[in-house]
Amino acid sequence: MAKREWDTIESGPPDHMQMLHPVMVKNYGKWKYHERPRPGVLKHTAESGDVIYTVRAGTERQDTVDIIRRFCDLADKYAGGYLRWTVRNNVEFMTDSWESVEGLIKELEALGHPIGGTGPSVSAIAHTQGWLHCDIPATDASGVAKSIMDIVHDEFISEEMPNRVKLSTSCCEINCGGQADIAVIIQHTRPPRINHEALHAGICELPSTVARCPVAAIRPTTVDGKPSLMVVEEKCIYCGACFGACPGMEINHPDYSKLAIWVGGKNSNARTKPANMKLVCHGLPNNPPRWPEVGDVVKRILAAYKEGGRDWERMGEWIDRIGWKRFFEETGLTFDMYMIDNYRHARQSFNQSAHVRF
């Protein structure tokens, strides 16, 4: 490589004011209200009377220079040369002309990008990297996301849910996908297999691997006269935390790494406080390339919520009203012992009352 002549500028994030449509610069911090003229389109009105429309479209999320350049072409043609992304990987184009809104919708749809994800719709899935790029995944993320979004496509392009629905997928139990109304997360069902050869070779720091375990199930031991680790299998909760610290703690398995479904997570403070999601289905097979069993469960949950939820009720709020018993009845899912918390503070989730729905 040639001698380096550039001195790094630690510039941090670029200045957002250089990245905004002129109407947004002019009315920065002076917006008055917004409306939704149709699914996938927002209309914001400023105190000055100026209007800016937003067209929101679903994307691959694992994109390419070609895909993004096409978005840039559309932004140049219709949106003054500016665009943005949402935290759920949707692309947004802003324009002050309704003709441009129509042009954007037509061209985006022709390119295969669905217009939607606004209001009470099912927005795109927040997902992780999976087999495509992560070093600890037990499943793919983009493939699961694509398969589920194919199923819920019609709910992305319409606004027919009781309230917005956020989905996420995660390919290990770290859950980078995050809390969501419905989340699909890897669930290991066996303790890690210990690769003593790798541990002997010094692949990882043994004390920090011991310290990583949430239930103190990992202990130092000697194997073939050399220091290694052992797992107390009765204590192990199959979480895979040790695998992140040490690749020799092989938790991933083609058959024993399965998928679990969690519901009722909520990030917004609207009405109820933010909430963690709850386990409603586990042990589903990790079944690429389409994960049909997962898709079926997600579909059942969405159908029951769409049918029974009232206006503005998020998934968790709907379940709070009808009760978990009816949630399981209406989705056809089965409650079992493993859905009762057994970790710290578990008592907080016990029914410490005489309240029962018969």
Partner 1 sequence: MADGNEFQLNPTSKLDELEKGPWPSFIKGFKETFRRTGNTMIRGALDQLNYSYETKMGYWKGGVVGVHGYGAGIISRYSMISDLFPEAKEFHTVRIQPAPGLHYSTDKLRELLDLWEKYGSGLVNMHGQSGNLQMIGISQDNVQEFFDEINKKGWDLGGAGACVRTSASCVGPARCEMACYDNLKVHHDLLTYFSDLVHRPQLPYKIKMKFSGCPNDCTNAIQRSDFAYIGTWRDDIKVDTTELANYFESKGLDYIVNNVVTRCPTNAITLAGNTIEINNKECVRCMHCINVLPKALSPGDDRGISILVGGKGHLKVGNMLGAMMVPFIKADTEEDMEKLQDMMDEFVDYWAENALDHERIGEFIERIGMHQFLEDMGMEATLDMVSHPRDNPYFKAGHDHDPLKNIQQAAG
**Binding to partner 1 in span 13-52, by CB under 8 A:** 13-16, 18-20, 24, 28-29, 31-35, 44, 52
Closer by beta carbon to partner 1, 34 or else 226 = 34
Does 146 contact partner 1 by CB under 8 A?
A: yes
Q: Determine which residue in the list 51, 72, 230, 322 makes contact with partner 1, applying CB under 8 A.
A: 72
Question: In terms of DSSP H, where are the helices of 190-286?
Answer: 196-200, 206-212, 241-245
State yes or no: residue 89 binds partner 1 (CB under 8 A).
Answer: yes
Q: How far is CA 120 from CA 34, 100, 166, 249, in A?
A: 15, 24, 10, 43
Which of 153, 193, 196, 326 touches partner 1 by CB under 8 A? 153
Candidate segments 83-91, 192-200, 225-233, 298-306, binder of partner 1 by CB under 8 A: 83-91
Amino acid at 24: M
Q: Per-residue string for binding with partner 1, 191-220, x by CB under 8 A?
A: -----------------x--xxxx------
Place of tokens 């087999």: 131
The residue (of 224 and 255) whose beta carbon lies closer to partner 1 is: 255
The token pair that represents 87 in the structure block: 């935290």
**Cβ 110 to partner 1, closest distance in Å?**
12
* E strand or H helix at 229: strand 226-231
Site for partner 1 in 254-293 (CB under 8 A): 254-255, 257, 265, 267-272, 274, 276, 286, 288-290
How many CB atoms sit inside 10 A of residue 40's CB? 29
Whether the CB-CB separation of 239 and 282 falls below 8 Å is answered with: no
Q: How far apart are CA 50 and CA 27, in angstroms?
A: 8
Q: Which of 107, 131, 195, 299 binds partner 1 (CB under 8 A)?
A: 131
Q: Give the residue, chosen from 22, 37, 48, 68, that forms a contact with partner 1 under the rule CB under 8 A.
A: 68
Q: Residue written as tokens 């992140």?
A: 244
- Using CB under 8 A, which of 22, 37, 98, 150 touches partner 1? 150
Query: Phi then psi for 306, rounded to 5 degrees?
Result: -60, -40
Candidates 104, 126, 167, 218: give the one binding partner 1 (CB under 8 A).
126
Among residues 288 and 332, whose Cβ is nearest to partner 1?
288
Choice between 194 and 239, CB closer to partner 1: 239
Question: Six-digit token pair at 349?
Answer: 């989730």
- We find the least distance from the C-beta atom of residue 309 to partner 1, in angstroms, to be 13
238 binds partner 1 (CB under 8 A): no
Indicate the residue among 34 and 325 with the shorter CB distance to partner 1: 34
The DSSP code sequence of 15-39 is: PGGGGS-HHHHHTTT-EEEEEEEET
Of residues 108 and 304, the one with the C-beta less far from partner 1: 108
- Please give the single-letter amino acid code of residue 25: V
* Subset of residues 167 to 196 that bind partner 1, contact rule: CB under 8 A: 173-179
Taking residue 57's Cβ as centre, other Cβ atoms within 10 Å add up to 25
Q: Reading across the β-sheet that carries 31-38, which strands appear in turn? A: 31-38, 41-46, 51-57, 91-95
List Cβ neighbours of 235 (8 Å cut-off, separation of 6 or more): 215, 216, 217
Q: Whole-angstrom Cα distance, residue 358 to residue 351?
A: 15
CB-nearer residue toward partner 1: 325 or 339: 339
CB of 10 to partner 1, least distance (A): 4
Binding residues with partner 1: total (CB under 8 A): 114
